[in-house]
Amino acid sequence: MWSTEQRNRLYLENEVLHREEFTQFSVYWYKETDTYEASGNTWSNSGKLYTLAIPIPSGFPQARPPMYITYPLPLYAANGNPISRLGVSHDMHTLAPSSSGQVQICHWRDNRWHSGILLHKVFLKGLIWIEAYEQHLATGRPLAEFVSTMKEYA
Amino acid sequence: MTTDPQQQQMIREAMKAIAERRPGRSKLVYDKTKRTIVAVTEGTQTPRALNITADDADMFGVATLSSHWLTERWGTLLRDRMIPVRFSSWDGGDALTQLEIGPLPASSLVEGVVVLGSDIPGPAGASLRIALHPGKGPVSEDSTIVAPDGSVHHATAHAQRNGEDHPLDTHFVDLQPDLALRRSSLLETNVLKDKTVLLVGVGTGGGHAAVELAKCGVGRFDLIDADRLTVGNVVRHPGGLSQVGRLKVNVMRDMILDKNPDAQVTIHPFEVTSHNVETIRPLIARADVVICGTDNRPSKLLINRLCIEENKTALYGGAFRRAYGGQVLRVRPKTSPCHECFVAAMPEESTDEEISSQQAADAVAYSDRPVAVEPGLSLDVLPIANMLTKLALMELVADTSSTLRVLKADYAAPWYLWLNRPEPGTRYADWPALSESIDEMTINRWYGIDLARDSDCPVCGDFIATLAASYGLDPKNFGDLAAPPAKE
């Protein structure tokens, strides 16, 4: 059950996304299950399509929301193996994948997350991760080498 | 006190004879010429002089019973002439402590019986027999008990060990008056016994705070923790090796009751997650103060939000890595910075946490970059636990004319910092040595630090209103969000 504070926060998160010109992303309400998800299709600088999805946890915003790449599925590493097989990886900046094998991007660790971080910033880190991922594909080097500026501090 | 086995045996025989009011082989006699007490044993030509001192009284073991327990059963004793009672046997039978006195039994138990009058035989199998003899005062002796009808009884005790009879001293104890006497001069024990403390996390810090609060006479505890005591915990946690494997909440419940037997302790062995909000909220609502000693941020942020919503003061304590220091944050809702304000204002300090368990290590590490478990020393965590306890007490007696009231100005700050050592690689590495500093910050001192509330805090401030206003939005006009687009 969501509190009024939570529903207002999510409504505002959606407004911020759109006003910050992240119009490819929105926060949606699944009325039947009374659940929320922020998601959208985005294109990398090279023009490839990706779908990012953030299922909103019931403890949001105190609880950190996970961010998954739901398309392409599976998402392959430069060596041809699904990235989801790596699990929690520093080299690829990933956390535990979803049960269906969707890669979870490490945007903030639990011990760094706080309620003042907006979904707008989370998606921003998702976009940075995608660009770094494509550099990983092009070079075979660990993705972590391309996101050294992706500090966890807000 | 004599250590001569022969003298001890003679004294024991003489004392036994005196206690049983019968002639024995040995007698204690005052020898005027030697100006000392001598033991005279039949068949012995020369009396042995004994340098008996007051300590010789302690050469006998002790059987300890609750006088409250016995007087409550006095009617049964009058009717049946005997009451069975079980004892913990400590130190090879040197101390026999009635089980009802504390929650932690010894590994060896002894069946005993209290009988009214020396002519009542105890039941078979009873290894300890305590006989009550009607008499007159003085009632101040440990072995004397006053019955509900006002009659005075003196106790003599005998234990059977290895087929031998061993006299014991009997001590009747009155638990609550004895416990309260030691703390009532400084603390409002009448106030504290009705106060409730919720401890979220009873590891090293929370566990020690719980025991200290029990010693102070706090009467009600709610304990939340899902962990079990491990061997590795024992060098820091109040629980010992004999309790390894038990849930920490059970270990701490027994330790609290061992210090304050009248305390009401309720255990809640679950994790603090958003799935348990509706279970945790009423515990916060009924608490007078909340102590959060968990080792992860998500639980602290959750407890913070609930405490703000329930308007309850909370204390957050934690050690820095390898316990080179630590901090305590006191949050008084709407009047001092909350934990979210603290996290936003002090990002470095709020993430400097001790890695005391594999679970904590996993929370900050990637599987391909493991983080070592590096707990600090217990003695380095205890200052933080003591500060948590002191601040909790201040909250519990805040509305009384407590002696602690004089500390109000000393503990006015919301955030307290302590350093055990100037850890290399930290901003404290260059602190001056304790012996050289006059007025600079040093190790081994508490610093109360003022910190402003964040008026735009997402939990205790107007985050949504302020953020909405910055985009020209009015929360009053917020509605439902759209449904997701239909999938192609």
Q: φ, ψ for residue A30 (rounded to 5)?
A: -90, 100
- Mean pLDDT (whole number) for A127-132: 96
Q: φ, ψ for residue A103 (rounded to 5)?
A: -70, 135
B367 touching A (Cβ < 8 Å): yes
Q: How high is the pLDDT of residue A154?
A: 42
Domains in chain A (CATH in brackets) are 4-146 (3.10.110.10)
Of B457, B464, B481, the CB nearest to A14: B481
Mark which residues 95-134 of A lie under 8 Å from B by CB.
106, 109-116
Output the CA torsion B289→B295→B296→B298 (10° steps): -20
Kindly identify which residue of chain A lies nearest to residue B466, measuring between CA atoms.
A12
Number of other CB atoms surrounding residue B466 within 10 Å:
12
Are B328 and B315 in contact by the 8 Å Cβ rule? The answer is yes
Q: How high is the pLDDT of residue B350?
A: 78
Contact criterion met (CB < 8 Å) for A89 and B367: yes
Partners of residue B165 on adjacent β-strands: B160
- Name the residue type at position B67: S
Task: Give per-10-residue mean pLDDT for chain B (488 aa).
Answer: 63 62 62 65 59 59 94 94 95 92 92 87 80 77 90 91 86 86 75 95 97 96 97 94 96 96 96 94 98 93 97 96 93 96 86 75 72 83 96 91 84 95 89 84 93 95 96 93 84
Q: Where are the domains of chain B?
A: 5-59, 61-173, 189-449
B344 touching A (Cβ < 8 Å): yes
B295 touching A (Cβ < 8 Å): no
B361 touching A (Cβ < 8 Å): no
B305 touching A (Cβ < 8 Å): yes
Q: Which two tokens stand for residue B98?
A: 């009635």
- Mean pLDDT (whole number) for A110-132: 95
CATH H-level superfamily of B189-449: NAD(P)-binding Rossmann-like Domain (3.40.50.720)
- Sheet strands (E) in B7-143: 26-31, 36-41, 48-50, 61-66, 82-90, 95-98, 108-116, 128-135
Are B50 and B39 in contact by the 8 Å Cβ rule? The answer is yes
What is the spatial distance between Cα B190 and Cα B173, in angstroms, rounded to a whole number? 21
What is the spatial distance between Cα B209 and Cα B388, in angstroms, rounded to a whole number? 7
Q: How high is the pLDDT of residue B34?
A: 62
For the stretch B119-125, contacts whose Cβ atoms lie closer than 8 Å and that sit 24 or more positions apart, written own/partner, are B120/B81, B120/B82, B122/B82, B123/B82, B123/B84
Q: How high is the pLDDT of residue B16?
A: 60
- Mean pLDDT (whole number) for A105-130: 94
* SS3 call for B274: helix
Of A16, A30, A116, the CB nearest to B344: A116
